[in-house]
Structure formats: C-alpha cells, structure tokens
C-alpha cells in the first residue's frame, strides 16, 4: 500500500503545483489544490529597469542571487531592453553570492560562476557572512524574491553598504479566492490532514482569506492535528511566530518536502487493537488488519470519536457533536454505515440507553 493512501494533503502553491501534486498522488495522497498567491513578473516594471540601469552604469561589487527564477528573469528582462550583454559583464566582474542550489544553477546557466553559496539556503546566513567580512563602502545588488527584504537591506545599509534592490517579481493575492476559502473550511473541519506551503506569502494569504473571525480557528487546527508542512524555515516563519508547530525538511526542495510529509503522516496515524483486530485510523479511511477501507465523512467522524476513548462508552450526545447533523437518526445511521464499511459489527458495541464503544478486547 502506498504510504499516503487515506490521507488528504492540500497544496497552496501556484508555480509547480502540478509537479507537487503528482509527487503526492504517486504516494497515494488525495490532493486538494488551493493556490494562495500568484506571481506577477515585472519584466516591464520601471523599478526593475531602473535597478538594471543602475547596475549597468555602476557595476556592483557584490550581487546576491536569492532565487533561480528571479535571476533568470532579471537577465531576460535586460536582454529585452538591449543591455543584457552589459549587465552580464558587470555581474561577471562582481562577487556572486547564491542563496542555495537553484540560484547557483541559474548563475551557471548564464555562463557565470558563484563565489559562495549559503549552505542553509537562508538570507540570514548570507547577511551574517557579509557583515562579518565588512561591507562599508561596497555596492551590493540584492535580487529580491517576492517582496521587500527590509531587514536584510537595512542591515547592509546600516553597516555602510550602498544597496541596489532588484525587484524581479512580486506576490499578490489571487483574484479567485473561493478555493482558498474552501480550504479554510476544510482545515477547520479537519477534512485535510496536511497543508503544504512553498512561500511565506502563501501562509499570510491563507490567514487573510480566513479573516479575523476564522484565522484563530485555522491556527488552532494547525496546533491540534492538521500538519503544516513548509518547504523551508523562511516559509515557516509566519506560522512559528504564531506558535504553530511546522514540519520543515532538511533541504528546501519540493522532493524533500514530499518525503517529509510521507514520513510524518503515517507516523501520526492512530493504531488500536479492537476485538482482536488491528485498526489504523487515517484521514478518510481505516486500515483493518492491513485492508484499506475508505469511509464516508460521517462514519470517519464517529470512528474518531469512539477511538478517542477506546473501550469507553461514548454517549449519543458526544457522537452528535462530532456529526454535521447530530440527530438521533443521523447517529444510528452513521454507526450502521460504519459497521458495514468495516465489514464487521463486532468492532463496535451498542450499550443500551448509553451509547456505543469500541471493543478493545477479543
């Protein structure tokens, strides 16, 4: 059985969402796509053109490349403006610093060579290195990624550097917010088991879509059951600032993120011995003695409520609170369907006038 079968994983990325979704589906996950933000290229933007001209007319001493797509986009825009060769010459004479493997790849693809790459792929590590070396009187071009990097650029300026900010692209909220609003409902309702994030603005966009009224419930869901999986520490920062635990892979790569989710979700599954059988609870399914059994949402809600107190009688009132329609008939119907789906009535015992319980002994 594929490792993520029975789990639902949400994707908030727009760029490379098909690739991420395919990787998760290949491992058995049910994927929900809700792009949180969209990238707006600034190939014709006045600010980018001004920064490019500034670098051509007065070549920088140091160039910080933060993303592969951004560095490539900068060179493509310069080519379109007829200054590509001049920009490339200036970059070749500068000290090129990369924030990880992807900008390294873009630098080398342009026929250039990076002189240093941050092992942790973080701007904080780059900043520490530059400040330790001394930047007073040096001209530093910083290719931004998605928005202003005020803390980074301000620290350089405070240390005496002249900083040229290169805004190659920016993030903005998507016009169609409905998929994101549905995801908010699914997170609060516990319908998804994990949400993946590939950028910090996507986290912010999700909370903005929830609004002041429901954002606390989203954060509580992440603290209590829904896995927040972030591609790197920068992406995780907005959640960690709100005391939300996050899953971050060792390397900031989609493949590493998928591997981390693939390891984490099965380890979080609840396993019980019920009436001599091994029962494992996954997001929308149960595995009984190795047999995969998909369950309807109401049946899964009942099973979770019973599994929360194995061997203990769970009242109809308690079960009603776990169902969208908590009437007496709805409870009895959900239990009947659950028994049918599990293929055995022996796993769930009816306690007359009190409720139901899982048989934890044979």
Domain assignment present for 342: yes
Q: Could you tell me whether strands 30-33 and 95-98 are parallel, antiparallel, or unpaired per DSSP bridges?
A: unpaired
Cβ–Cβ < 8 Å for 208, 180: no
Question: How far is 334 from 314, CA to CA, in rounded Å?
Answer: 14
Both 57 and 167 in one domain: the answer is: yes
Q: Could you tell me whether strands 95-98 and 62-65 are parallel, antiparallel, or unpaired per DSSP bridges?
A: parallel
Q: H/E element holding 348?
A: strand 348-351
Domain assignment present for 3: no
Mean pLDDT across the chain: 91
Task: For residue 48, give its domain range.
Answer: 40-171
Domain assignment present for 1: no
| Greatest C-alpha distance within the chain | 86
Both 157 and 181 in one domain: the answer is: no
Domain assignment present for 82: yes
Both 259 and 337 in one domain: the answer is: no
Both 65 and 31 in one domain: the answer is: no
> What percent of the chain is modeled with pLDDT above 90?
64
Give the per-residue pLDDT at 344. 81
Both 79 and 103 in one domain: the answer is: yes
Q: What is the pLDDT of residues 271-308, one digit of tens each?
A: 999 888 899 999 999 999 999 999 988 888 899 899 98
Both 228 and 256 in one domain: the answer is: yes
At residue 130 the predicted structure's pLDDT band, cuts being 50, 70 and 90, is very high
Nearest alpha-carbon partner for 254 in 9, 67, 21: 21
Domain limit, last residue, from 213, 240, 268: 268
Q: How many domains does the chain have?
A: 3
At residue 362 the predicted structure's pLDDT band, cuts being 50, 70 and 90, is very low
Both 114 and 152 in one domain: the answer is: yes
Give the per-residue pLDDT at 42. 66
- Other C-beta atoms within 10 Å of 137: how many? 9
Cβ–Cβ < 8 Å for 193, 283: yes
Contacts of residues 56-60 at CB distance under 8 Å and 24 or more positions apart, as own/partner, are 56/83, 56/86, 56/87, 56/90, 58/139, 59/89, 59/90, 59/93, 59/94, 59/139, 60/90, 60/94, 60/139, 60/140, 60/141, 60/164
At residue 327 the predicted structure's pLDDT band, cuts being 50, 70 and 90, is low
Domain assignment present for 2: no
Q: What angle do CA 117, 75, 159 make, to 5 degrees?
A: 50
Can you give the CATH number for the domain in which 195 is found?
3.40.50.10090
Q: Could you tell me whether strands 8-11 and 30-33 are parallel, antiparallel, or unpaired per DSSP bridges?
A: parallel
Q: H/E element holding 221?
A: helix 200-223
Q: pLDDT at residue 187 above 80?
A: yes
Domain assignment present for 59: yes
Q: Which two tokens stand for residue 44?
A: 């014709």
Both 131 and 153 in one domain: the answer is: yes
Domain limit, last residue, from 241, 268, 295: 268
Domain limit, last residue, from 268, 300, 322: 268
- 79 — phi, psi (to 5°)? -60, -45
Both 191 and 258 in one domain: the answer is: yes
Give the per-residue pLDDT at 253. 85
Both 49 and 167 in one domain: the answer is: yes
Both 94 and 53 in one domain: the answer is: yes
Give the per-residue pLDDT at 326. 56
Both 132 and 45 in one domain: the answer is: yes
Can you give the CATH number for the domain in which 353 is found?
1.10.10.10
Nearest alpha-carbon partner for 274 in 323, 309, 314: 309
Nearest alpha-carbon partner for 136 in 154, 162, 115, 155: 162
Q: What global pTM score does this model have?
A: 0.78
Q: Which two tokens stand for residue 139?
A: 């001209």
More confident residue, 316 or 155: 155
């Amino acid at each position: 059985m594929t490792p993520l079968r029975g789990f639902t994983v949400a994707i908030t990325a727009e760029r490379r969402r098909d690739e991420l979704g395919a990787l998760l589906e290949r491992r058995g996950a049910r994927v929900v796509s809700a792009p949180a933000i969209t990238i707006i290229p600034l190939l014709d933007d006045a600010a980018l053109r001004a920064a490019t001209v500034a670098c051509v007319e007065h070549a920088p001493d140091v160039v910080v490349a933060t993303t592969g797509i951004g560095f490539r986009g900068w060179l493509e825009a310069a080519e379109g403006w007829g200054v590509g060769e001049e920009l490339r010459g200036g970059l070749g004479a500068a000290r090129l610093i990369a924030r990880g493997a992807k900008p390294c790849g873009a630098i080398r693809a342009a026929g250039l060579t990076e002189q240093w790459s941050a092992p942790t792929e973080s701007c904080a590590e780059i900043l520490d290195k530059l400040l330790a070396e001394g930047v007073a009187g040096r001209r530093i071009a910083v290719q931004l990624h998605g928005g202003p990097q005020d803390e980074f650029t301000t620290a350089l300026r405070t240390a005496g550097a002249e900083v040229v900010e290169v805004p190659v692209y920016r993030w903005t909220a998507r016009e169609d917010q409905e998929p994101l609003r549905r995801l908010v409902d699914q997170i609060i309702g516990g319908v998804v088991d994990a949400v993946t994030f590939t950028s910090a603005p996507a986290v912010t966009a999700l909370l903005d879509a929830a609004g002041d009224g429901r954002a606390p419930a989203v954060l509580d869901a992440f603290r209590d059951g829904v896995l927040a999986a972030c591609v790197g520490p920068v992406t995780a920062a907005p959640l960690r600032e709100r005391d939300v635990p996050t899953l971050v892979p060792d390397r900031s790569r989609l493949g590493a993120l998928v591997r981390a989710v693939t390891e984490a979700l099965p380890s979080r599954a609840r396993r019980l011995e019920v009436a001599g059988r091994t029962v494992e609870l996954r997001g929308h399914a149960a595995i009984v003695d190795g047999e995969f059994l998909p369950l309807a949402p109401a049946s899964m809600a009942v099973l979770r409520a019973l599994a929360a107190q194995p061997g203990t009688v769970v009242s109809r009132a308690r079960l009603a609170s776990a169902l969208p329609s908590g009437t007496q008939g709805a409870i009895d119907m959900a239990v009947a369907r659950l028994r049918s789906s599990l293929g055995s009535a022996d796993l769930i015992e009816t306690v007359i006038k009190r409720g139901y319980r899982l048989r934890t002994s044979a």
